[in-house]
Each structure stands twice: as C-alpha cells, then as structure tokens.
Structure 1
Amino acid sequence: MSAAAERLSDPSLWYSTNLIGLPSRLFGSTTFNDHPQPVTIHGTRETHPGLFRLLALCASQQEAAEVFEHYMQLQFGLGKPQAEDSPAERRRFKTSYLKLLQGWGFDANNAQGAVLKGWVESRFGMPPIFHKGALDRFPSAAWTGYLEEKMNSRFHNNCINLQLDVLFEYCQWSLTRFAASGRPTLTLWRGTNNCEEQLVEGSLRQRDCVMRLNNLVSFSQSAERAGEFGDWTLETEVPRVKLLFFPGLLRDRVLNGEGEVLAIGGCYRVHARYG
C-alpha cells in the first residue's frame, strides 16, 4: 500500500488539533487508556464558575443534577416558552444537550448523532470512523452525508457545542465527587457485529485484541445487556476521564432505561466473546 493510500485508510492519521492540551493520537490510544490522566476542555470551567460553586455545595448526585439542569435552563434558555416571548421565539426550535442525547438513544447514526460526533471531533481532535457507513475514504458519499448532518443549522442555533462542553465537565466533576470507587477506569461492555472492520491488533480467535471504536461510542454496564446488541460482546476498561454520560448523571431518564454509558472512543484493548 502506498503512503498516500495508507493515509486515506487509517483514520488515526487524520487526528487534528483539539481543546484538551494533549496530542489527539495519544488521547485516542491504548497507551492513554493504560495510564489515564485528567482531561478538561479549555476554558469551560473558567467560563461557568457559578455552576461549579453551586455544585460544590451539593451533597448528592441527585441534588447536583437539579442544580445542573436549572443552570442550563437559565444559561441557554432551555425552559418552556414564556407568555411574554414573541410568537417567533415560542416557535423557535432550541437545540439542547437533552435532545441530542434522546436522539442518540433512538439511533446513533441520525442527525443528532452526527452533531455529537462532530463535537468530539472539534474538542478532542478525533474524527468518527462510521456514520451510516464507513468513513474510511475522503471524499465519499458517507463523508458528505456526515458533514451535512453535523453542521445542520437546526442543531446549531443555541450554542450546542458549548452546552456539550459544560455537560462533559459536569460529568467529570460528578465522577470525581461521587464515584464510590477510586479506580481510574470502569469495566464496561459493548455488543457489536462488525468486529473485523474495527480490528487493529491481534485476532478474534485470540479473544484479546485491540479495536478502533468510533469517536463516540455507547457501552453497557452489564455483559448481558450488551449481548442484546450484537453477536460479539466486547469487554474493556474505559477511563473515567473519557466519559460524557452515565446513568444517574441527569434527573431526566434519558438513556437510563438501557444503562447506557457514552464515552470518547479511539483504540481500546478488548476481550471479545462470541454469542
């Protein structure tokens, strides 16, 4: 394979600049997963000091979730339309982090999923490798569709990337404050059918291998639940610093029914089990 062809076929070589102060290729590697370090999106906590002062007073995750929800409603105008609002304002679709999470729960390959993957790309420098099709060549029809959906003005009329920045920092704050275990990683599972396409090192026969997962990926908290979503069940250690969402983070029951955890992807060491 020529050097040019290799660049086109290896998404890890497309990693770009980010807002976390670490090389994107390092952040998306098994080396980082083996030795995770704290990560923050530059400027987010400094821009919202009032939120984190209020969170520091909370004694439970539920209380923190109430504070976070109220803050986001005020900061980004996410509350119900008021009588004094103009007709145009009452009709205006206001994108929110909750609507994106709800959309992801229905289908990670819909427009909401594209916006979330685009946020990961812009903040962590990691492009997706799949959206309705493999994003292994550029340009391609799959890439065009992804770019159109992730930049759709319907989802970018209310500072959606900034909302997701705050959600990520709130998630990280919650894990530091309320996580019962001091372990830097969580054991999580993922059900899938397309293992061969994601394989980077090793083989499925060996069961222990390295796979390149999408830049934002869903995990389950139990192997049994994960097994409902594919013939193969992948077990892996996910750094807490890569989590965007976990059940109980919010009062809204979005994604809670399936015990779904959202994490930044990249290369992971996995133990694969068939059936």
Structure 2
Amino acid sequence: MRSGPALSAEARLPINRCNLPAVVLGGLTYQQYPSPLLIDGVAELHADLFRRLAAAAPGTAAEVFRDYLTVRFQLEWLEEMGYTGHASNRAKANYIRMIRGWSFDSDSREGAVLKGWVESRFGLMPRYHGEPLRDPSGEGYRRYQEMRSQGLYGTNALESQFDLVYSFCQRELALRHQGAQHVTLYRGINRVGEHEVLAKGKGGRQTILLNNLSSFTCSRDRACEFGDYIMAVDIPLTKIFFHCGLLPGVLQGEDEFLVIGGVVDVSLSTI
C-alpha cells in the first residue's frame, strides 16, 4: 500500500451522511483500496425500489428506476405536493434537469446544487465553483452557497433524489463490472495548475486533489477535445455518481461520468 498526502482538514467536513468519514473516503488509500459507500437511510427508506429492481426483467432497470422516482416524488403531479402558481416552476427542477444543467455548465446553479449534495453526503468540500474555493468564510464560498440555496429553494427533495441516483448507479456498475473496483477515466485540461497538485512523481505521475465533483470521460479521444493535457485516473467505481449510459436520454454524447472527488494519483500526458 502506497502512502501519500492526506485529505487536508480544509477540504472536508468533520461529519457526513455515509458510512465512512471524509478523511477516509477522500484519501489516497481509498482510491487504491475502495469499499462501498452507503448513504444513510437510503436502503431502509427505499427498500421497495431495490426489490423492484431485483425483480425487473433484463434491460428494464432504468425504466423501473424512473417510474419509482416519478411516483415517489410526484414529479408529474406537482399539485399533489402542494405546489401552486410560480412555485411549481422551481418544483420542476428535478434530478434530470440538474444533471443536464451540470453538463452544460458545472459552475452553474445546478452545479452548485450537485456539489452541495456531495458536500452534505460525503463531507468533501468543493474546491472550485467559478473560482477557487479555499476559504469557507470567503466571498467565493458565500457565492457558491447562495447559488446552492437558490437551486434548492422550492424544489421537491432534490438531494433525496440524488441519493437514489447514486445508489442506482452503484447497483448498475456492480452488475456491469463484476469483480472490478476501478475504471480508467480521462479528463482534458489546459493547465496543470488548474488542479491542486499535492505531490509530483516521475513519468507524468502526480497526486492531486480533485474538486468534490468533476466530469470525466471513458474515451481518451474525447478528452483530447477539452485540453492540451490528458489526465488519466483509475477511478473507484464507488466514486461514480452518474454516467451517460445509466439513464438513456439524460446526457447526450461525450461518454460523460460525474466523479466524486478526493485525493488521487493521476497520469498526465500531452495529446
């Protein structure tokens, strides 16, 4: 086991809502030796969803999942949840719209909501949202918190919807990658300095701190379109919140993966 820089106290919360503390799940050792991440209460509160998924016919899991969330959160019957007038416009900000909003701009209000969910559930604080976030009492972090609050206001249990998206993603990844713990993903960047470099090794190896939620792709060729350097990372499957193939039609193209952050070893190369 290779030791390395730990996740600093400035990048994590002392508490979270899953089975491992942020200092563990955000560290380099976790990248090398991951274990399941379980969000508090999901299995107990939504046991019916997982029973339905277990009984679903092959190829229908995504449909079963969508139907469950639509009914559970009354996504197509907003008046049943007490929404009237202009309030229903915010209630339409469901998990699909949030993920699509992230895909267009990860520094948007939708991006702030998703980064806030990671912060709440896993205890990993965002390191960038339109600008570096290094000081929780600073102006940049305040703006991020305002965007997060605006994105959540008047919505229908958005963070609980994300809990189920993550849990469903983990179930599907475990079925598709039986026995595997990692998948190699790529990210195109223009400047290495855009990321927090914690240590440098030989041959383009570096240890960096990822933002608490970042976009990657499974296609190296696709990553080449987004920067002059290619970052290759062995990402634990447990750190994948969503990917383009999980729910057909939510994300179009780009082979995009939304990855939960922490300290990771990466390999940097030029195009």
Normalized against structure 2, the TM-score is what? 0.89
Quick one: structure 1 residues 119 and 87, their matched pair in 2 at CA, closer, same or farther if it must change by over 3 Å? closer
The yes-or-no answer on 1:191 pairing with 2:188 is: yes
Counterpart secondary structure, 1:249: coil
The yes-or-no answer on 1:254 pairing with 2:224 is: no
- Extract unaligned runs of 5+ from structure 2: 1-7
- Does the 8 Å contact 2:204/2:268 carry over to 1? yes
For residues 205 and 162 of structure 2, what CA distance do their matches in structure 1 show? 33
- Does the 8 Å contact 1:11/1:127 carry over to 2? no
- Residue 88 of structure 1 corresponds to 85
Counterpart secondary structure, 2:264: strand
Counterpart secondary structure, 1:152: helix
For residues 170 and 258 of structure 2, what CA distance do their matches in structure 1 show? 12
- Extract unaligned runs of 5+ from structure 1: 1-9
Paired amino acid for 1:259: D
- Does the 8 Å contact 1:11/1:136 carry over to 2? no
For residues 191 and 119 of structure 1, what CA distance do their matches in structure 2 show? 25
For residues 86 and 230 of structure 1, what CA distance do their matches in structure 2 show? 44
- Residue 138 of structure 1 corresponds to 136
Paired amino acid for 2:115: K
For residues 95 and 153 of structure 2, what CA distance do their matches in structure 1 show? 10
- Residue 21 of structure 1 corresponds to 19
Q: Which residue, out of 211, 220, 224, partners 2:221?
A: 224
Q: Which residue, out of 249, 257, 271, partners 2:267?
A: 271
Task: Among all aligned residue pairs of Structure 1 and Structure 2, give the percentage whose two residues are the same amino acid.
Answer: 34
Deviation at 1:232, TM superposition (A): 1.3
- Residue 123 of structure 1 corresponds to 121
Deviation at 1:41, TM superposition (A): 0.3
Paired amino acid for 1:149: M
Counterpart secondary structure, 1:257: coil
Counterpart secondary structure, 1:54: helix
- Residue 240 of structure 1 corresponds to 237
RMSD: 2.2
For residues 84 and 214 of structure 2, what CA distance do their matches in structure 1 show? 39
Deviation at 1:181, TM superposition (A): 4.6
Paired amino acid for 2:225: E
For residues 114 and 156 of structure 1, what CA distance do their matches in structure 2 show? 16
The yes-or-no answer on 1:31 pairing with 2:29 is: yes
Counterpart secondary structure, 1:238: strand
Paired amino acid for 2:162: L
- Residue 4 of structure 1 corresponds to none
Q: Which residue, out of 190, 205, 208, partners 2:205?
A: 208
